[in-house]
Amino acid sequence: MPPLTTQQRDSVLPLLEKIRADIRELAGDDETVVFQMRRYIGKRLEFDERGTPAVRRRLKNLKWKLQRGLCAVCKEALPIHGSELDRTEAILGYTEENTRLVCHNCHRSTQEAKDFAKA
């Protein structure tokens, strides 16, 4: 996936500045509210990309059953706690078709390989 162009980044920066200004206006001088509003907005944007933790947890359980508790890469036994969902294409999100469940070491290796392929 190509990064945003300079023009695309420049075009979206006013939106970020508007959100910052709106948070300042809404929260007034209360730094705790500023902190919580930033965190709230940031998490909702993250959920837009990754889905909610509950959705990912359900998908993890499904994939674990479908893969019979084995890592999709090394085929070793995979404890569900500590297993990780690996997206084939990040932009396609956390769907049954676009993910596989892997162990931490395999996830790290595949991420490094993907990053290396991009570089």
Q: Per CB under 5 A, does 103 bind Zn ion?
A: yes
73 lies in the site for Zn ion, by CB under 5 A: yes
Nearer to Zn ion, 25 or 68 (CB): 68
* Using rule CB under 5 A, residue 71 touches Zn ion: yes
Radius of gyration of the chain (CA): 19
Q: Is 101 exposed, middle or buried (0-12, 13-18, 19+ CB in 10 A)?
A: buried
Using CB under 5 A, count the residues that bind Zn ion: 5
Number of C-beta neighbours around residue 46 at 10 A: 11
Amino acid letter, residue 78: L
**Least CB distance from residue 78 to Zn ion, whole Å?**
7
Tell which one of 4, 33, 74, 77 touches Zn ion (CB under 5 A): 74
| 59 binds Zn ion per the rule CB under 5 A | no
Q: What is the residue type of 31?
A: E
Q: Does 101 bind Zn ion (CB under 5 A)?
A: no
Look up residue 73 and give its DSSP letter.
T
In the complex, the residues that contact Zn ion under the rule CB under 5 A are 71, 73-74, 103, 106
